[in-house]
């Protein structure tokens, strides 16, 4: 049945504790989505753009001292 096929998709799946914390938080949906992207290292920061060979600034536009990365922005 469709129910069994859907359940089979998730057999053996490992639950990531940060994902559960992120999606079950009371924060607005856009904030939860951004947090999930940051945890997965999927935000379009200059270090990520450089890895893909795309145009980017060499340093952080806020401080002009370090390369922009998700860790630099949030931590």
Percent of all residues in the chain with a pLDDT value above 70, rounded to a whole number: 100
Query: At 8, is the pLDDT very low, low, confident or very high (cuts 50, 70, 90)?
Result: confident
Averaged pLDDT of the chain? 88
Instruction: State the burial class of residue 68 (Cβ atoms within 10 Å of its Cβ: 0-12, 13-18, 19+).
Output: buried
pLDDT on residue 12: 75
58, 35, 38: which is closest to 46 by C-alpha?
58
Name the pTM for this structure: 0.68
């Amino acid at each position: 049945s469709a129910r069994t096929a859907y359940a089979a998709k998730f057999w053996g799946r490992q639950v990531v504790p940060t994902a559960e914390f992120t999606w079950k938080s009371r924060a607005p949906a856009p904030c939860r989505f951004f947090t999930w992207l940051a945890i997965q290292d999927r935000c379009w920061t200059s270090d990520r753009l450089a890895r893909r060979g795309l145009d980017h600034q060499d340093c952080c536009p806020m401080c002009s001292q370090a390369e922009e990365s998700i860790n630099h922005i949030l931590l």
